[in-house]
Amino acid sequence: MRVSDNAKFASISKNVQKAQSDFVSAQQKAGSGLRVSKPSDDPVAAAQARREASRKALGEAGVAAADTATDQLMGADTALGDVYEGLTRAHELALAGATDSMSKENRSDLAQEMRKIRDQMVSLGNTKVGDKFVFAGYRDQTAPFEASGNFVGDGSIKEVQPVNGMRVQASISGASVFGNGNSDDAFKTLDAVIAGLESNDAEAIRGQLSNLQTNQDRVAKSRSIVGSMIDSVELGRNVADQQQARATTQIASLTEADAVQSALNLMQAKSALEAAITVASQIPQGLAQRG
């Protein structure tokens, strides 16, 4: 075979191989919907897509953390509502028991109901959402209140970070809700009222009325704080969700193929392959065999 024939045959073969490769690539892109499925398809776009994927993962983690925090704060809010109702009832009972005309037997009956309220306060102080105690701070795997009402939890306030540079408070300590052993501690106050009722001491009961009011006010304030935390966490969640959405959009724009353009490219690649095969088929049989 002459050199010119060799070159011609090699060129035709190369054209067929390239047309086949282009057709396969066009098929893959049209089938997968991806313009960049591996770094070699577009190194710059692939690198940018990897960075956006990291941002997306951070956004997803931020949304998950915010959702968990919101669930716990909502559980705390519900518990605080029940605590407030319990203390309101306790205040009503104390007012009744502080009346000089009340009999010893009636005060004894009030003491029994007051004890139930006190036990309920301990239970509410140990409220759990999932496997975490919502008033225990970072020691949220352990009940923060003993049966005596003694606080053994962590007084710290937990934080979540929905996105880089944004930290929001996401818990309230049981110590700040119930008083943590102060003179107006909820459990000490309830115990004092119960003692006054059981000993038929109206004066002792009257001495605790202001403390009961203090506890109601403290719980109302705590609930307001939790409400503000819920709003802040929700704001952080929205920012994280937006980050995730933007990253998803960017990844799509960097790696996904336009459906219409992909279909057009596939048709063109198919036509080019058919044309290359047609040209190759026109090579004389003897020349192709010698090649």
> Using one digit for the tens of pLDDT, what is the confidence trace for 215-239?
999 999 999 999 999 999 999 999 9
Q: In this predicted structure, what is the pLDDT of residue 253?
A: 80
The alpha carbon of residue 205 and the mean position of all alpha carbons in its chain are separated, in whole angstroms, by 46
The per-residue pLDDT for 1 is 47
Residue whose structure tokens are 């006054």: 196
Amino acid at position 149, single letter: G
Per-residue confidence (pLDDT) for residue 94, from 0 to 100: 97
Coil/strand/helix, residue 282: coil
Q: What is the pLDDT of residue 18?
A: 64
Position of tokens 């010698």? 290
Note whether 197 and 98 are within 8 A (CB). no
Per-residue confidence band for 279, with pLDDT thresholds at 50, 70 and 90: low
- Report whether pLDDT(175) > 60: yes
Higher local confidence (pLDDT), 141 or 261: 141
Q: Are 73 and 223 in contact (CB under 8 A)?
A: no
Structure tokens at 280: 């190759």
* 146 vs 260: which has the higher pLDDT: 146
CB 30 within 8 A of CB 257: yes
Angle at 176 between CA 151 and CA 114, to 5 degrees: 65
Question: pLDDT digits over 57-78, tens only?
Answer: 999 999 999 999 999 999 999 9
- What share of the chain in percent tops pLDDT 90? 65
Which one is predicted more confidently, 7 or 111?
111
132-133 and 159-163 beta bridge pairing: unpaired
Backbone angles phi, psi at 169, to 5 degrees: -70, 140
| The dihedral formed by the CA atoms of 113, 122, 218 and 108, expressed in degrees to the nearest 10 | 20
Question: Of 178, 136, 130, 141, nearest to 157 (Cα)?
Answer: 136
Share of the chain above pLDDT 70, in %: 76
pLDDT at 45 over 90: no
* Res 257 pLDDT > 70: no
Select the more confidently predicted residue: 257 or 162. Answer: 162
**Residue-level pLDDT at 46:** 86
Closest CA to 276 of 27, 26, 19, 21: 19
Select, from the ranges 63-67, 182-186, 247-251, 263-267, the one with the highest average predicted confidence (pLDDT): 63-67
Annotate 132-160 with DSSP letters as a single string: EETTSTT-TTS-SB-TT--B-S--PPPEE
Return d(Cα 174, Cα 154) in angstroms, integer: 8
For residues 15-20, average pLDDT = 58
pLDDT band at 254 (very low <50, low <70, confident <90, very high): confident
Is the confidence at residue 114, as pLDDT, over 70? Answer: yes
Cβ atoms within 10 Å of 86's Cβ, excluding its own: 23
Distance CA 194, CA 115 (A): 7
Which residues, in sequence order, are bridge partners of residue 170? none
Q: What is the pLDDT of residue 285?
A: 57
Task: Give me the amino acid identity at 17.
Answer: Q
pLDDT of residue 2: 52
